[in-house]
Each structure stands twice: as C-alpha cells, then as structure tokens.
C-alpha cells in the first residue's frame, strides 16, 4: 500500500512537471514598452475688457479713467487693470466697474475668491463675486468692483487699492 501511494505521488509530480515544461514550451511573453508624455500647459488668464456701468450721486460727471493693458491677447500682459476715479464729492457717490476675464489657456481653469486688504476712512471698496468660477478654454467670467465715497474731506484724498484674483488649473472633485 505504501508502495502504491508512493507510485501515485511520483506519477502526479511527474505529470505536474510535464505540464509546466509543456506550458513553457508553447507560451510566449508579450512586453509593452511605451512612453507617456504630457502636453505643455499654456496657462494664461487675462482681463478682456473693463467698463463703467454706473456713476451715481450728486456728481454724475465724475472723471472715470479705465486703464487696461490688452496688448498681445493670449500672451503675457493684460493681467493688470488700473481704474482711476476722480470727482466723487458727496457721501454716497460711487462708480462701479465691470471686468471681464478670459481664459486663454489650453486647460480648464478655476477662479478663486477675490481678495483685497483695502481699508480707508474715506472710500469703500466693494468687490463682487465671479459670475462663474470654472472657465473652459476661451470662456469668460464677469465681476464688478464698486468704489464709494463714505466720508468727505476738505483736502483731496487719494487711495490706492489692489484686488487679487488667483486662477489655477481646474481639478474635478
């Protein structure tokens, strides 16, 4: 009985060995060698236009200058606007600017919240929210900024302000 069991185990081992050798003789290994490359990201988000939508208050003839660098659309530049307001004389006089920002990038971008550290006793700066925060290629977004006189002075008061808007490549959540 022991001899028979040894014979069966031996035959099973020989059969498994033959199967392994046979499989190796008739099989082939396929290898994939490839290259993965990303496209260069052209990341350009710029001001497209700026317009004055409202001048309100006693001095409706306020001198409003809108300086916008629109040189070389799609190229560096056009990322700075410098609005200038002169002629706000009565508390409550205000000027609202409407800005259009365009995504010249070859990727979808996300516009982050607008921020400013403006704090002045004579002027109030109100920064609106983007009408959309995710821009497809060549798509635009709008935002408004209002400058309002909140206190009068017997001397000419001048205030400068900066508003920051960060645009980043969009990553779907």
SS3 assignment for 23-43 = HHHHCCCCCCCCCCCCCCCCC
Q: Which CATH class is domain 45-169?
A: mainly beta
| More confident: 51 or 150 | 150
Confidence (pLDDT) at 71 = 46
The residues pairing with 45 across neighbouring beta strands, listed in sequence order, are 103
Distance CA 68, CA 72 (A): 12
Distance CA 133, CA 74 (A): 20
Q: Are 112 and 46 within 8 A, CB to CB? A: no
Confidence (pLDDT) at 72 = 47
> What is the per-residue DSSP string for 66-120?
EEE--SSTTSS----EEEEEE---STT-EEEEEEEEEE-SSS-EEEPPPEE----
Compute CA distances 19 → 8, 22, 29, 81, 108, whole Å.
Answer: 16, 5, 18, 77, 56
Burial 43-55 (b: 16+ CB within 10 A, else e): ebbbbbebeeeeb
Mean of pLDDT values over 83-110: 85
Token pair for residue 91? 């508390």
| More confident: 111 or 61 | 111
- Residue range 143-168, pLDDT digits in tens: 888 888 899 888 887 888 778 778 88
Confidence (pLDDT) at 21 = 76
Distance CA 120, CA 150 (A): 9
Confidence (pLDDT) at 67 = 54
pTM above 0.85, yes or no: no
| More confident: 111 or 24 | 111
Confidence (pLDDT) at 138 = 92
For tokens 């022991």, name the residue: 2
Percent residues over pLDDT 90 in the chain = 11
Planar angle of CA 142, 116, 72, nearest 5 degrees: 50
Q: Are 43 and 105 within 8 A, CB to CB? A: yes
| More confident: 169 or 28 | 169
């Amino acid at each position: 009985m022991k001899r028979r069991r040894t014979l069966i185990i031996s035959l099973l081992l020989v059969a498994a060995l033959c199967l392994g050798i046979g499989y190796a003789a008739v099989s082939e290994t396929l290898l994939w060698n490839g290259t993965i490359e990303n496209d260069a990201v052209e990341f350009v988000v710029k001001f497209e236009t700026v317009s004055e939508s409202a001048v309100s208050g006693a001095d409706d003839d306020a001198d409003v200058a809108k300086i916008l660098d629109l040189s070389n659309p799609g190229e560096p530049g056009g990322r700075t606007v410098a609005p200038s307001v002169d002629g706000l004389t009565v508390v409550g006089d205000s000027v609202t600017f409407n800005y259009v920002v365009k995504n010249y990038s070859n990727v979808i971008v996300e516009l982050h919240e607008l921020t400013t550290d403006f704090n002045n006793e004579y002027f109030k700066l109100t920064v609106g929210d983007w009408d959309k925060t995710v821009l497809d290629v060549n798509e635009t977004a709008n935002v408004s900024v209002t400058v309002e006189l909140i206190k009068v002075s017997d001397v000419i008061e001048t205030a400068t302000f900066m508003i920051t808007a960060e645009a980043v490549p969009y990553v779907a959540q």
